[in-house]
């Protein structure tokens, strides 16, 4: 009953990607140190992310009410997040403050998903109940935590693999050009690519509409 629910599978994949994204962003210390030349900037960028998430979560209840659900809100949020990471890429050309603004925009766009994930899992569980007449809420929530852990571990592994592929050497004060190029890809381009993939996946996550359709069908059958 769990696996045929493709909405739930989409949530798992997105969570793995989201945790991978977080691990890659956390490798920003390498980018700040060897590309921007200021390791202390990591604290500034991390602060911008956290502040943006707090602001986004504060307005989440009002936004859910306005959008009458989660589908459009999550989709719009990740479109904004992908654009924000695009601003980071543009800002790298010559404006650290613009990179900071793009980072904050990206975090705000991600806040709806972070705030309503459990509600989405509940909708997925309701979808299974409407189709099979049985509830597996506990199993779904347990498997969601698996997605978080898998994504976190995979993200850390990807960071290590890419750094090794780029030729990173922790003993060097100045890294090779191949390593710098890899750091550019990892911090500037890869987060944006992940967000774009999530946007595409979110087009397949209108579980609320699917549940409304199932309820309507059941009502017709009862009549």
| Tens of pLDDT, residues 132-176 | 888 888 888 887 777 778 888 888 898 899 999 999 998 888 899
Q: How many C-beta atoms lie closer than 10 Å to residue 38's C-beta?
A: 11
Give the span between the Cα atoms of 109 and 10, in whole angstroms: 19
Helix/strand/coil (H, E, C) string of 129-160? HHHHCCCCHHHHHHHHHHHHHHHHHHHHHHHH
Q: What is the pLDDT of residue 220?
A: 64
Please check the confidence at residue 222 and state whether its pLDDT lies above 60. Answer: no
Q: What is the mean pLDDT of the chain?
A: 90
**Cα distances (Å, whole numbers) of residue 122 to 3, 63, 92, 155, 211:** 16, 19, 40, 26, 11
Q: What is the pLDDT of residue 206?
A: 92
Residue 100 pLDDT class (50, 70, 90 cuts): very high
- pTM for the whole structure: 0.91
Helix/strand/coil (H, E, C) string of 38-97? CCCHHHHHHHHHHHHHHHHHHCHHHHHHHHCCCHHHHHHHHHHHHHHHHHHHHHCCCCHH
**Is 105 in a helix, a strand, or coil?**
helix
Q: What is the pLDDT of residue 83?
A: 96
Give the span between the Cα atoms of 44 and 190, in whole angstroms: 21
- For the segment 180-205, what is each residue's pLDDT rounded down to a tens digit? 999 999 999 999 999 999 999 999 99
Please check the confidence at residue 112 and state whether its pLDDT lies above 90. Answer: yes
Q: What is the pLDDT of residue 88?
A: 95
């Amino acid at each position: 009953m769990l696996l045929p629910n493709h909405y739930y599978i989409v949530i798992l994949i997105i969570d793995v990607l989201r945790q991978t994204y977080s691990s890659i962003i956390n490798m920003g210390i390498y980018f700040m140190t060897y590309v921007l030349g200021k390791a202390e900037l990591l604290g500034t960028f991390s602060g911008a992310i956290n502040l943006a998430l707090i602001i986004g979560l504060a307005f989440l209840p009002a936004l859910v009410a306005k959008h009458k659900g989660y589908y459009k809100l999550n989709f719009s949020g990740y479109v904004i997040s992908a654009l924000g990471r695009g601003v980071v890429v543009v800002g790298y050309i010559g404006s650290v403050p613009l990179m900071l603004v793009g980072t904050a925009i990206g975090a705000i766009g991600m806040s709806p998903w972070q705030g309503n994930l459990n509600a989405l899992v509940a909708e997925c569980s309701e979808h299974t109940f409407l189709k099979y007449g049985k509830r597996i809420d506990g199993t779904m929530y347990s498997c969601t935590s698996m997605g978080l852990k898998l994504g976190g571990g995979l993200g850390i592994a990807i960071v290590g693999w890419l750094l090794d592929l780029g030729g990173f050497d922790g003993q060097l004060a100045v890294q090779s050009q191949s390593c710098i190029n890899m750091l550019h890809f990892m911090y500037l381009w890869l987060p944006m690519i992940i967000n774009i993939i999530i946007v595409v996946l979110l087009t397949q996550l209108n579980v609320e509409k699917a549940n409304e359709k199932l309820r309507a069908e059941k009502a017709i059958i009862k009549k």
